[in-house]
Amino acid sequence: MATVSVVIDTFNSDRFIVEAVESVLAQSVPPSEVIVVDDGSTDGTARILDEHYAGHSTVKVLHQRNGGQMSAMVLGMEHSDGDVICFLDGDDKYAPNHLQNVTRVFAEHKDVDFVFTAHRKFGDADEVVQYAPEDLDLGFCLIATLKNRVFMGSITSTMAIRRPLSLTLLPVLRQVAPRWRLRAEDCIIYGASLAGVKKYYLAEPTVLYRIHDSNASRFSEPTYFDEYFAHGQRRDTVFELFSRHLGLGPSVRLPVVLEFLSIKQPTRNQYRAYVKLNRQIHESLWQWLKGRIKIYLHYKRHRPAWDRHTPAEFHG
């Protein structure tokens, strides 16, 4: 049975951190270790963690100078030993069956290296956020991500990865950590896609995402520049670093049709995205037409039932 490490990053979460850790310890399938990284909190978080978990057999508490969410996640990953690494923000929590569901996917799908789940907002909001209403084997998305920046994932607390993927991503994550204080999950999501791993989505919202008055307390109020331009620049840098690290040069083969066929139940949005990709990179009219037909037939035969409310059009 796979061992599970849960990495919890936290900053100024003294009101919530014990609840987060206890939600992990109360799992129906318990983790082998819980690594809590306090990112230089200035409230009572560090003291509370030391009081509750000093000498704990499962919980390991690490303290660092404030460096941002990505640096905290990197430190936690570096100190983890599990076959599977799950992530949790210090103000969120897991439903009791979260790790059970995630480990089941990894056990049943040996070729899947990245899992993410739906989540439920709570606190100052009450809403379920889903990628789709049913579980989905999402296949590969390297080409779609490389060409069109497809974002196949969700918030930090919903993510789980296998250890080999963690080791593949860490060299780049260490490089970008000093500048990537916000939306650290983007780096892992894009990196996993570019590493060519298969992804799987779980529709049950077993992550509880807390909405409160200090969700972004570690950051100043974002300006237009920070939110749109600067983040875009950082994302481009991440793509460049991962492409270099993973050997995704200009000559990389782009098997768009094969990638689409790896999606066992493609949705309408995925179908349209791959039709567009096939049109972008076809080498000849004949190859383009063959690819378009294969994409259409696979979508028509295998799209999920909830996506069948309208006929499958031969989209171009």
Tens of pLDDT, residue by residue over 244-277, are: 999 987 656 668 999 999 999 999 999 999 999 9
- pLDDT-derived band at 284 (thresholds 50, 70, 90) equals confident
Cα–Cα distance, 181 to 176 (Å, whole number): 9
pLDDT of residue 40: 96
pLDDT of residue 316: 44
CB atoms within 10 A of CB 212: 14
* Virtual torsion, Cα 216, 220, 225, 226, nearest 10 deg: -50
The CA–CA distances, whole Å, from 245 to 86, 96, 169, 172 equal 24, 37, 9, 7
Domains of the chain: 4-245 (3.90.550.10), 256-307 (no CATH)
Residue reference for tokens 């930090």: 156
pLDDT at residue 221, rounded to an integer: 43
> Distance between CA atoms of 42 and 161, rounded to whole angstroms?
30
- Angle at CA 199, nearest 5°, toward 196 and 203? 165
Distance (Å, whole) CA 90 – CA 38: 9
Report which of 75, 69, 84, 87 is spatially closest to residue 170, judged by C-alpha positions.
75
Question: Per the structure block, which two tokens stand in for 85?
Answer: 């690494």
Question: Rounded to 5 degrees, what are φ and ψ at 247?
Answer: 75, 35
Q: What is the per-residue pLDDT across 47-63, written as a single tens digit (0 to 9) for each?
A: 999 999 999 999 999 99
pLDDT(220) > 50: no
Nearest to residue 69, comparing CAs of 52, 92, 50, 49? 92
CA-nearest of 8, 155, 152, 175 to 77 is 8
Indicate left, alpha or beta for 166 from its phi (over 0: left) and psi (-120 to 50: alpha).
alpha
Structure tokens at 68: 């941002």
The yes-or-no verdict on residue 301 having pLDDT over 90 is yes
In sequence order, what are the beta bridge partners of 121?
A: 127, 209
pLDDT at 226: 56
